[in-house]
Amino acid sequence: MTAYRTPALATAAALALAAAGGRAARAHHDVEATIALLTERIEAGEADADLYYRRATEYRVLRKPQLAEADLRQALAQRWDYTPAHRELARLLAGRGEAEAALASATRAVDNARGAGERAGAMVLMARLLSASGQKAAALEACDAAFAQLPAGDVDWHLLRTELLSELGRGGERPAALQAGFAATGSIVLRNAWVDALLDNGDTSGALPVIEEELASSRLKSSWLLRRGRAHLLEGDREAARGNLEACLEELAGRIHPARPDLTLLADRGLARALLGDTEAARADLARARAAGADRWVTAALERALGGD
């Protein structure tokens, strides 16, 4: 049977790879076509801040940061108060390691923002840059200023703010902040982060009812097995904790793609391994997640379990 099926399977795999390659090639072509159209309009005399900014974003998709930066600066030469260009230039400079210049661009984005939405988005960008440069208290102030503009905020803003609280030694405030964020947004991500914050603060009585409800109803259970394992450890039941953590790892073994892992699942596996005492494997998962660009909130619990690695 294998001899007859292998060519068909190989053909199917080849077709799948070809289709994926075709989609990537088409996407690449579409970006280049957009750049060509924008260039044509710019060279025909339509040049304005918006056209340069739009072309810069396309160059960033193609990973051509020098061309993107040139267009962003052209956009700002056309209109110094063009907030989106200041914001994108700040991101580009930060990615290149120019922290001071990035913060200066973010400050200009805030100063030139039009309306609460633009100003709040620029303040959150500034908060991220300040946090990355180690200025956690100033980052929290910037984040709070964003919420003052738009109280509901975005999910990522709430996650950023609560991680800053943790890093500033104010982790006890995280559950209430995340619960308020969930009430404002209805985001399941924030509801789950709230449960994690309860566990971080040793509150198993608040966390376990939600955990048990999710385990009873969820098809994919690994994250909730991990949480129940954490709860059992807090309650001193190491045998029950081990059973849950091992069950979590068993499920994750079939869900984590070896070449393209979901970063949240990778961090979950690292945390389960750390709690089981396999610190070497946990550190490998953390390093891989970081290298792939995982957000700080994704890896924070694993980092804490590893003693702040």
Q: Which of 180, 223, 233, 181 is nearest to 202 (CA)?
A: 233
> pLDDT tens across 18-60, in order?
454 555 455 566 888 889 999 999 889 888 899 999 999 999 9
pTM of the model: 0.80
Handedness of CA 94, 99, 104, 109 (dihedral sign): positive
| Six-digit token string for 84 | 């989106």
**Residue 172 is inside which H or E element, if any?**
none
> pLDDT tens across 144-166, in order?
999 999 999 999 999 999 999 99
Q: Do residues 220 and 250 touch, judged by C-beta distance below 8 A?
A: no
Q: Do residues 119 and 107 touch, judged by C-beta distance below 8 A?
A: no
Q: Which of 80, 76, 81, 35 is nearest to 54 (CA)?
A: 35
Predicted pLDDT of residue 231: 98
Band (pLDDT 50/70/90 cuts) for residue 253 is very high
Predicted pLDDT of residue 100: 94
> pLDDT tens across 85-101, in order?
999 999 999 999 999 99
Predicted pLDDT of residue 15: 46
* Distance separating alpha carbons of residues 225 and 213, to the nearest angstrom: 12
| Six-digit token string for 2 | 């294998």
* Distance separating alpha carbons of residues 68 and 59, to the nearest angstrom: 5
Query: Looking at residues 56-81, what average pLDDT do you find?
Result: 93
* Distance separating alpha carbons of residues 76 and 160, to the nearest angstrom: 29
> pLDDT tens across 216-250, in order?
999 999 999 999 999 999 999 999 999 999 999 99
